[in-house]
Amino acid sequence: MLHPEGRDRSSVTLAGRSPTLPTRERILRVASGLFATRGYHATTTREIAAAVGIRQPSLFHHFPSKEAILQTLLSSDLDVAVPNAEALAAAEGSASVRLYRYLGQDVAHLANSPYNLSGLYTEEVMRDPAFAPWVRKRARLHAAIERILADGVASGEFVDMPVSIVREAITGVLLRTLTLYSGQDRGGDPGFCEQIVSLVMRAVLIDPSRLPEIRRQAERNRS
Amino acid sequence: MLHPEGRDRSSVTLAGRSPTLPTRERILRVASGLFATRGYHATTTREIAAAVGIRQPSLFHHFPSKEAILQTLLSSDLDVAVPNAEALAAAEGSASVRLYRYLGQDVAHLANSPYNLSGLYTEEVMRDPAFAPWVRKRARLHAAIERILADGVASGEFVDMPVSIVREAITGVLLRTLTLYSGQDRGGDPGFCEQIVSLVMRAVLIDPSRLPEIRRQAERNRS
DNA sequence: GTCTATAATTGGATAGAC
DNA sequence: GTCTATCCAATTATAGAC
């Protein structure tokens, strides 16, 4: 008997169809893309399954729930980003160089990830009690960034604005601009990434003419 | 018989309970807040009704559908923002002053609106075919902003980056930072708004020392 | 590991009394 | 204009065959 979902797989993503990847991995890639473009709650398990090329119940062999798919994606990002940011927050060196390094790492990670991570940090996800542990992890990331920003304000390198607002603005820029580029395996166009980082640095630097020198220092002695 | 939804209205917003406002208006305010914090698709009509203090079916006396609530909110924003931006895109004067004016208008509108507008321009909403007409309207807004940005690049006032990326970055900053402040009727703290505008201007200006002069010009002869 | 079939729940929306 | 009662569709998840 023909299943009502049919067999049409014409509008399926490349990542989802790639036959060399294990199904679990294809699910993560496809789901991250759908979460980013349609939102977490609006994305159905049927859509994910269809894009992967399997039936909806087959998803549950690889993940115990839809939540678990998102949680896996959150871990893949935060388990890298939090230690990076905390190390930079505690490191020696000028706040400008440390912020540049953080931004460079973050942008590169977002742009090079096989997943589209821009659907993870929306209000609809972050306010959902199911993801509270990851919200706490993310709070540590925020605290680390704000420590770097506060150092820069104290040293006179950064404009004197509330650090939580600036951090929120930075998050907004990164998520919004990299939506278009993440999860697409394009090697993350290093020129583009550097432009985004420079845009953010100019916004916070009191003296943006220092930017080339900061860039040079940030790229030297990459820890 | 006691209805399963109960009568608990303890966690209800001020805007929703305000007894002087017509119900239709209270629905819009409450719904905009829920869309912003929980997302459009994750917000149920039952939640909206509970926060307003009525039963779920009563909503449909004021709006034909949940979609219509969001469409009303979209109109309230875009019907103001698009003409403003298009007028500035076609106006005389330096690109810097025009961008400053646009940002000032937009930030003030977002901060002073009785609605929390930050839940409207998410991917889950903008990619939904039901809202395609508003996506087209918004494209006109984007085009107007990009015209101002392109003017500034051509005149040497703005850093030379792809205007669509910069426009996306600006959108990200505004939506993210003003989430916390919009729809809260706090008069929109003019100092805070100016800080956000300045942050954005510094990011795009080749010579940020011009900022005080630009601000003075933008605030003179307010069209 | 994937399938069909289906359970269990929740969602938006309608009917009609008051 | 709000209510109760309810419909119908869609959703996540499970059971069990292959």
pLDDT digits (tens, 9 = 90+) for B78-121: 999 999 999 999 999 999 999 999 999 999 999 889 999 999 99
Residue environment code for A34-54, b if the CB has 16+ CB neighbours within 10 A, otherwise e:
bbbbbbbbbbebeebbbbbbb
Q: Return d(Cα A150, Cα A163) in angstroms, integer.
A: 6
Which positions on chain D have an atom < 7 Å from some protein CB? 1-6, 10-16
Q: What is the pLDDT of residue A9?
A: 42
Element housing A123 (H / E): helix A123-126
Tokens 């646009």 correspond to: B102
Question: Nearest nucleotide to B47 by CA–C1' distance?
Answer: C11
**pLDDT-based confidence at B222, cuts 50/70/90?**
confident
Nucleic chain D contacts, protein chain B, residues 16-75, CB cut-off 7 A: 22-24, 49, 54-58, 61-62
> CA–CA separation, B163 vs B152, rounded Å?
10
Is residue B7 over pLDDT 50? no
pLDDT digits (tens, 9 = 90+) for B54-79: 999 999 999 999 999 999 999 999 99
Please state whether strand D lies within 7 Å of residue A208 at its CB atom.
Answer: no
Helix axes of A23-38 and A66-90: crossing angle, nearest 10 degrees: 80
Q: Which of A97-101, A147-151, B123-127 has the lowest mean pLDDT?
A: B123-127
Percent of chain A with pLDDT strictly greater than 70:
88
The whole-number pLDDT of residue B10 equals 41
What secondary structure does DSSP assign to A18-81, as a single string?
-TTS-HHHHHHHHHHHHHHHH-TTT--HHHHHHHHTS-GGGHHHH-SSHHHHHHHHHHHHHHHH
Sequence length of chain B is 223
Report if CB A46 to strand C is under 7 Å. no
pLDDT of B20:
82
Confidence of residue B177 (pLDDT cuts 50, 70, 90): confident
pLDDT at B19 over 90: no
Q: Tell me the mean pLDDT in the region B162-184.
A: 86
Phi-psi region of B6 (alpha: psi -120 to 50; beta: other; left: phi over 0): left
Q: What DSSP string describes B201-212?
A: HHHHBS-GGGHH
Phi, psi angles (nearest 5°) of residue B205: -75, 135
Q: Cite the DSSP H helix spans in chain B.
A: 14-17, 23-38, 45-52, 59-62, 66-90, 95-112, 123-126, 132-154, 163-179, 190-204, 211-219
Cα A155 to the chain's mean position, in Å?
A: 29
Cβ-based neighbour number of residue A153 at 10 Å: 18
- pLDDT band, residue A187 (cuts 50/70/90): low
| Overall average pLDDT of the A57-65 stretch | 98
Say if residue A205's pLDDT is above 80: yes
Tell me phi and psi for residue A205, to 5 degrees. Answer: -75, 135
Mutate to test the interface with B, among A107, A173, A196 (most CBs of B within 10 A): A173
CA/C1' separation B53–C18 (Å): 19
Query: Is the pTM of the predicted complex or chain greater than 0.85?
Result: yes
Write the burial class of residue B220 (CB in 10 Å: 0-12 exposed, 13-18 middle, 19+ buried). Answer: exposed
B5 has a pLDDT exceeding 80: no
Q: Tell me how far apart the alpha carbons of residues A166 and A126 are, in angstroms, rounded to a whole number.
A: 19
More confident residue, A19 or B29: B29
Is B159 at the interface with chain A, CB within 8 A?
A: yes
Which pLDDT does position B190 carry in this prediction? 75
Contacts of A157 in chain B (CB under 8 A): none
Nucleotide nearest to B22 (CA to C1'): D1
Q: d(Cα A122, Cα B36) in Å, to the nearest integer?
A: 10
* Predicted local confidence at residue A3, as pLDDT: 53
Statement: residue B175 has pLDDT above 80: yes
pLDDT in tens, A89-129: 999 999 999 999 999 999 999 988 999 999 999 999 999 99
Contact B112, B183 (CB under 8 A): no
B208 touches chain A (CB under 8 A): yes
pLDDT at residue B48, rounded to an integer: 98
Mutate to test the interface with A, among B47, B122, B123 (most CBs of A within 10 A): B123
* Residue reference for tokens 């917000």: B43
CA A49, CA B101: separation in Å to the nearest integer? 47
